[in-house]
Amino acid sequence: MTTSSLRLENATVVVNQGTSEEKTILDAVNLEVQAGEFVTVLGSNGAGKSTLFNVIAGTLNLTSGKIYLGDTDVTHLKEIERTHILARVFQDPKLGTAPRMTVAENLLMAERRGQKRRLKSRGLTTEKRAEMAQVADKMGNGLAQRLDVATGQLSGGQRQALAFLMATEKRPELLLLDEHTAALDPKTSAQLMALTDEQIKAQQLTAMMITHNLSDALQYGNRLLVMSEGKIAMDVDGTAKQALTLEDMLAFFNRY
């Protein structure tokens, strides 16, 4: 089991440098996430939440600063090189899965992350399919009975559940959940959120989750960050986080 953590040192992103449109969208952020932490991330639109995740995932380069995963400096690693270390689930259920491939084929692809992805029929043995059904059954939404269905035919909730399973099939050192329940109806969102929390705890994953849902941010995770203008405006954990109320958060946001 990995003991690595995420560490950002003066992580800064400046866009349109040298022009009248120059803007700092991530402002000298210092952050350390310990192994096993589940961090919820709040902030208004444009606060820097997505920028933070993009630089961690490698889809956006830092202007200055450093990013470490464990003892590894990943600052200049390309996005594809970081997929061996971290996994990400996006807001859009269409992202993160291959729509023309079956559920079983998607799970097999996820299992072979970092290897040559040659999907051959012998990979989907009876034993392997039974194993996949057992894993999918944890999601409790009928996904286990749809192994042979093309992913594009799944409901939004089932597809997000599949994306989550794929992201955690090979235990990542860091799991990024990018508003992964936001596009779902309230009931499905609540179900997936509860299952997400259950699996993070069961696998003792290190996870960060962007959400606009104040209740979810308070209920889930053991640490909460609030971003504002590219900076971390609040960082609470443990009993301090547990003591926060919805009224506290609304009052905080009203000051920004």
Look at residue 117 and give its three-state secondary structure.
Answer: coil
- Residue 2, pLDDT score: 42
| Long-range CB pairs of 43-50, under 8 A, 24+ apart, other chains included | 43/226, 43/227, 43/228, 43/233, 44/228, 44/253, 44/256, 47/227, 47/228, 47/229, 47/230, 48/227, 48/228, 48/229, 48/230, 48/231, 49/210, 49/227, 50/178, 50/210
Do strands 23-33 and 6-15 pair parallel, antiparallel, or not at all (unpaired)?
antiparallel
Q: Are 145 and 139 in contact (CB under 8 A)?
A: no
Position 131 scores a pLDDT of 87
Per-residue DSSP letter, 113: T
CA-to-CA distance for 17 and 132, rounded, in angstroms? 49
Give domain status of residue 32, yes or no: yes
What predicted TM-score, i.e. pTM, was given to this entire model? 0.90
Give the chain's domain count: 1
Range of the domain at 236: 6-254
Tokens of 93: 């259920």
pLDDT at 224: 97
Predicted confidence at residue 254, as pLDDT, reads 82
Residue 114 has a pLDDT of 58
Residue 36, in any domain of the structure: yes
pLDDT of 121 reads 45
Q: Concatenate the DSSP letters of all residues of 180-241 into one string.
A: TTTTS-HHHHHHHHHHHHHHHHHHT--EEEE-S-HHHHHHS-SEEEEEETTEEEEEEEHHHH
Greatest CA span in the chain, whole angstroms? 62
CATH number of the domain where residue 31 is located: 3.40.50.300
* C-alpha closest to that of 205 among 238, 178, 172: 172
Give me the torsion for CA of 198, 204, 205, 206, rounded to 10°: 120
DSSP state of 249: H
* Residue segments in the chain with a per-residue pLDDT below the cut of 70: 1-4, 113-123, 256
Q: Provide the 10 A C-beta neighbour count for residue 35.
A: 16
Do residues 69 and 6 touch, judged by C-beta distance below 8 A? Answer: yes
The residues, any chain, with a CB within 8 Å of residue 205's CB and separated by 6 or more, are: 36, 38, 168, 171, 172, 175, 199
Residue at 1 is within a domain: no
Q: What is the pLDDT of residue 123?
A: 66
